[in-house]
Chains A and B, each alone.
Chain A
Amino acid sequence: MSAFANYWRRFPVKAKAGAIILGLFVLAAIIGPLVTPYDPSFQNPSPGLSMAAPSAAHLLGTTQSGQDVLSQLLVGIRLTLELAVIVGVVATAASVVVGVTAAFLGGFWDDFLSLVSNVFLVIPQLPFLILLLGYLPQKGQTPTIIVLSVLGWPWGARVIRAQTLTIRGRDFVAASRETGESSWRIIASEIIPNQISLIAANFVNTVLYAIGTSVALAFIGLADLNSWSLGTMLYWAQSQQALQLGAWWWFLPPGLAVAFIGTALVLLNTGIDELGNPRLRDARNATRVAGYRVWPTDPTPVLEGVAAGGGRVGAFLHSFSRSSLLDETASGGDTR
């Protein structure tokens, strides 16, 4: 536990914010469907409950046909996150396999696998997905997961291949090869552990892609419209003109849920980036030296008046301060 706490403390602020927001949604996805106040598909026939504004009985109001929006939202978050995580795991695994294989085999197979992933990268995804799903006789969670996974791996494969190539050339890999380790062992215990943060970032990206794409697909009607996901909620809200009729409680929650999950993932990813590349870290960077804002990218200022006043004690105290680093004196202590 303390190891975890230690790790958490070193997390950049952005990553912490992302992890917390995401955690809330994951929690909602896990326990949400168990505590829904109503059956999300139940259409309450009483006329007062058609597009009713939020009330104590219906915390997020109702839809046109009297369904409870909160119940739909809770079920929808589960369905959307479930899809995204499965796609994330499958596609990331595929990109690790393809990327590492390409980098390790080299030669023809490297060229071939790189060509395949580049071709898939350059073909625009959404029209391709629409074509694929459009021809499928039944639309639903499983076909969407399969199609998104099949098209979701090339970017990761490209990045992981490049990283594997650089790691492969390092001394510690050469050393373990000299000691007679098999290729598989080198891959499993040298290569992959050394790019775990890259793989994590790739997973987060894929989840983000899966959420965005699946919601967009559902919005244009390419999903099982009888199930409740964030995308199908938006589809129904849009097709029943929720916004034009002023039913914001029906339209805003699913959209904001997608937006917050997305932001959380982007934040998490930026955080992972910063963990790996300290230069990107959100340094509260500009320091104030003698009334000037000094940025790390500025040339070292040569300021004439930076000398501390106040006699010996002042000079002594000043020598501990950050700005004393800017004092350039020949003897290194005497500021006079």
Chain B
Amino acid sequence: MPFILRRLAFYVVAAWVALTANFFIPRAMPGSAVQDIMSKFPNLQPSAYKAIEAMLGVGHPGSLLDQYGSYLVDVVHLNFGTDVSAYPASVASVLGQAIPWTLVLVGTATVIAFFVGTGLGIIAGWRHGGWADRLLPGLMFLQAIPYFFFALLLLELFALKLHVFPIAQGYNGQVVVPGWDWAFISNAIQHSLLPAITIVLTSMAGWMLQMRNVMITTIGEDYVIAAQAKGLSSRRVVFTYAARNALLPQLQGFGLALGFVVSGALVMEIVFSYPGVGLLLLNAVTSNDYPLMQAIFLVITFAVLVANLIVDLVIVLFDPRVRAKEVTAR
């Protein structure tokens, strides 16, 4: 089977596992979401139980298999039920407002962090013991700090003390109205700078360390020595011989690390009250908004799966060995 088809099958399985877990967790856990909501509002009459059940969509009639079937149909139609905290808005519409914010901020910052980190890793690996290598312990410290803690410190320093960046939110609602004009976009960019810097600084070290280690190992390979012996310029040896091959494990790591980076970025959004999925997740947790929690889990999982698929396509493009394997397999 061609590489891409095999990977595609894998992601389908992963997506199915996520969907199924999402279906069974609420049903397997002791206690119930409905009970939780009932106890939160003590003045609700016991007769409201059925109504809440219907609202959450948990009281499905029929056997477990029937419920599972209708659940899958609902998910395909992006029908995640009704939002509890923003009643009567649907979960899908609440999510729809938050996703673009997160996608733009976390997506851009992650890609920047990947490229800057990889670049620094190339330098650190090539000049082992040089200036870039000496940055590493400091960057490791940044990586070991919890995202949100680092974000809070930056917020305190740059927003509250120095007033360089705005304090919170995705844009200033008193000054601009959301829309596709320059006033709004520039305001939004200004608000996204500090969160983006936080993500880049904290996640860069991971990419850098990995790239450095692979670079150091790659440099010892015979073909790199051969390239040097031929008298090629250092730049050519570094980029077209060593880094190009060292990049492949890095790309494979990118897909797997994405889940962690996204998770960290979500918590970071909470600090900046950024109107993205992370803040939504916090609100869902604090208000026991189970339908929203489930929908967010699915959306994030699917986003990470799609990103992984894209990474796989890039690997096919870059790594002739993967393509060669396909030819010989046929």
Contacts and interface: CB of A to CB of B under 8 A. Distances in A.
Contact of B10 (A118, A135, A251, A299): A118
Nearest to B256: A121
B25 A131 contact: yes
Interface stretch (B42-50, B66-74, B261-269): B261-269
B297 A128 contact: yes
Contacts, number: 176
Contacts of A238: 152
B33 A295 contact: no
Interface residues of B, number: 73
Interface stretch (B138-146, B184-192, B321-329): B138-146
Given A220-B270, A297-B128, A258 B145 contact: yes
B129 A124 contact: no
A280 B129 CA distance: 10
B14 A123 contact: yes
B228 interface: yes
A297 B290 contact: no
Interface string B285-301: 11010100110110011
B86 interface: no
A296 interface: yes
The A interface, classified by DSSP as helix, strand, loop or mixed, is helix
Contact of A136 (B22, B29, B284): B29
Given A122-B14, A122-B256, A216-B264, 19 more contacts: A115-B13, A124-B301, A127-B266, A127-B301, A128-B297, A131-B25, A135-B26, A137-B30, A137-B36, A216-B147, A244-B156, A255-B146, A255-B152, A255-B153, A258-B146, A259-B141, A266-B143, A270-B209, A285-B128
Interface of B: 10-11, 13-14, 17-18, 21-22, 25-26, 29-31, 33, 36, 126-130, 133, 137, 140-141, 143-149, 152-153, 155-156, 160, 209, 213, 216-217, 219-220, 228-229, 231, 234, 255-256, 258-260, 262-264, 266-267, 270, 281-282, 284-286, 288, 290, 293-294, 296-297, 300-301, 304-305, 308
Closest 9 CB pairs of A and B: A262-B144, A126-B263, A124-B259, A137-B31, A255-B149, A285-B129, A135-B29, A259-B145, A263-B144
5 contacts: A115-B13, A128-B21, A130-B281, A136-B30, A255-B146
